[in-house]
Structure 1
Amino acid sequence: MKPDFQYPLPESEKSFRVFYKTQDKQNAPLHYHPDYEMNFVIKGNGRRFVGSTIENFEAGDLIMLAPNIPHRWNNTSNSHHSYSSLVIQWKEDFLGKAWQSTPEFRPIRRLFDLSNKGIKFDHNVANEIKRSQTDLLKLPPFQKLLLFLQLLDDMAKTTEFRILSEDQFPFKDDLPNSRMNKILQFIKENYAEKITLSKMASLVNMGEGAFSRFFSQAMGKPFFSFLNEYRIKMACKMLRETDSQAGEIGFACGYECLQFFYRQFARYVHCSPGDYRRKLS
């Protein structure tokens, strides 16, 4: 199921918007849009889809998403208007073009970068949003903006969160020719092909042992664990967006042995490719 595109905030809108969203027991469409989004669940429970990750949600959950991440919240409660959430959406340049280079905003810039993977904050962090929801809706525009910036700053400084989806590469710096970015770019462009340790080591002029140590230290996991995880994320994307059979997708993601593909899929997604696709329907 290919996600629907939702159009960006109109130019006539303010730099960000805050609104309540309600939903009966029905499947919301899988969608994406070019704006950042924060979603705080006020009531309801069900299944949340973010990138390739599918998990349960409940009241009190606070999620932050970068632009263009496919997502949806499927409410499974039975009563009328049994799901509601507070939603905040904003453009990347909501403070103008130069704010990202301002030192005072660096923590928020890092928060935005991290949201490329989807962030779920702990409930005690979410409670700040809960306490501020009325002010976010009712304050005059300037005071509302100041409150929003304060909430972003608080969220940028907390360590009480977890990543939802690893679909995006975690680039470590902004240098296009850096060693790690060269490795990641090669994986992104060649994951469907056979990739060996010797090939990767020679790519960055290192021995195999030195390369393995360098990659594990930089990324926090062995190279082939990272490669398999990325291939499975791409398989999830193909399952969402194409009608190709699971076996065809396995081969297209660089797996020469389908049994190994199915084992790796179950390891990272905790279900079979067929079950994953059925959950999306």
Structure 2
Amino acid sequence: MKTLIQKIYVEEHHSFACRTYRTPDFETAWHKHLECELILITEGNGTALIGDYIGEYKEGDVYFLQGEVPHWFRKQEKQTIGSAIVIHFLTDFWGDRFLSLPEIKPIAKLLAQNNTGIQLEGDLSHEIATMIRRLESAEGMDRIQLLLNCMLKISLSAEQKVITMACSTTNSSAENSVIEAIIDYSFKHFLNPISLNEIAAITNMSVPAFCRFFKRNIKKSYLDFIKELRIGHACKLLRDTDRAILDICYNSGYNSWANFSKQFKVVLNLTPSQYRRQHKK
């Protein structure tokens, strides 16, 4: 198991890191780092776990994560390729005097939003994706200028949504191994009934101790975590297939239409049929 704290390597002639991570290097499990992260997904799709957020990611998605926000981009299929261009930088690499300039105030405000993760949307997402691709091969002052333009455009745009404001956590390597084991087991079995006794057993904890441990680290209850995994699976089927909604209900870990419909609306504030109409490809 990898440790929770990831060390980011920066070349001597650069002030921040920008490189492509592709399978198998893309498969970094639940982790965090001091650096802020601007990430463009270039291949693959799957589930993004970012702080207390669970949602799908796909090619072309762009995220900005504050330092210390734990995250894991977990591929949909083991045999598929996962790839992303990732920019890592410390908030103070610009220098405090630079961030105090009035022209840089929007960027400074964005960087001050601790424990936050955002996903870019619309034209902003496409524009930042283009600049990230250019930045990967840029050198010298062009790198600084491109990153500065990225952060300025993000800080001034409304085409973004905050997906997490979860507090960061400090875990030992042993605790992180337990978190990874829980998440891995959950992804393999979430379409089947999972009891708290069952999931607590793999951690060698009592049910109350497990519930406290999970809530402290993932910022939500385990039952809510499983619910969001199942609803996310249902959303993918609603968008990508023509299967009957009742069939999707039973293939998403639910054995009751009433419960599925209720939980779907709790998570997305839409009925399954409304979601399909809005998102059908």
- Please say whether Structure 1 and Structure 2 have the same fold, judged by a TM-score greater than 0.5: yes
**Partner residue, 1:88:** 87
Counterpart amino acid of residue 140 in structure 2:
P
**Counterparts of 2:212 and 2:141, CA distance in 1:** 54
Is the contact between residue 65 and residue 115 of structure 1 (CA under 8 Å) also seen in structure 2? no
Once the two structures are superposed, what CA deviation does each residue of 1:38-90 show, in whole Å capped at 9, x if it has no partner? 1111121001111122221111211111111111111124555x221111111
Counterpart amino acid of residue 37 in structure 1:
E
Q: 1:3-18 alignment to 2 at 5 Å?
A: 4-10=4-10, 12=12, 14-18=14-18
| Stretch deviating more after TM superposition (36-45 or 47-56) | 47-56
Match of 1:271 among 207, 214, 227: 227
Is the contact between residue 120 and residue 162 of structure 1 (CA under 8 Å) also seen in structure 2? yes
**Partner residue, 1:157:** 156
Counterparts in 2 of 1:4 and 1:101: CA distance versus 1, 3 Å: same
**Partner residue, 1:143:** 142
**Partner residue, 2:108:** 109
Counterparts in 2 of 1:270 and 1:141: CA distance versus 1, 3 Å: same
| Cα deviation, residue 135, structure 1 | 2.2
**Partner residue, 1:53:** 53
SS of structure 2 residue aligned to 1:149: helix
| Cα deviation, residue 163, structure 1 | 1.3
Q: 1:1-281 alignment to 2 at 5 Å?
A: 4-10=4-10, 12=12, 14-23=14-23, 28-77=28-77, 79=79, 82-114=81-113, 116-168=115-167, 244-248=205-209, 265=221, 269=225, 271=227
Is the contact between residue 120 and residue 164 of structure 1 (CA under 8 Å) also seen in structure 2? yes
**Counterparts of 1:118 and 1:66, CA distance in 2:** 6
| Stretch deviating more after TM superposition (70-79 or 98-107) | 70-79
Structure 2: give runs of 5+ residues left out of the alignment.
169-199, 229-281
Counterpart amino acid of residue 69 in structure 2:
I
SS of structure 1 residue aligned to 2:14: coil
Is the contact between residue 43 and residue 84 of structure 1 (CA under 8 Å) also seen in structure 2? yes
Is the contact between residue 15 and residue 91 of structure 1 (CA under 8 Å) also seen in structure 2? no
Counterpart amino acid of residue 56 in structure 1:
E
Counterparts in 2 of 1:18 and 1:243: CA distance versus 1, 3 Å: farther
Once the two structures are superposed, what CA deviation does each residue of 1:171-192 show, in whole Å capped at 9, x if it has no partner? xxxxxxxxxxxxxxxxxxxxxx
Counterpart amino acid of residue 4 in structure 2:
D
Identity over aligned residues, as a percent? 21
Is the contact between residue 17 and residue 89 of structure 2 (CA under 8 Å) also seen in structure 1? yes
**Counterparts of 1:165 and 1:245, CA distance in 2:** 29
SS of structure 1 residue aligned to 2:92: coil
**Partner residue, 1:258:** none
What is the number of residues matched between the two proteins? 192
**Partner residue, 2:236:** none
Counterparts in 2 of 1:15 and 1:145: CA distance versus 1, 3 Å: same
**Partner residue, 1:178:** none
Counterpart amino acid of residue 20 in structure 1:
T
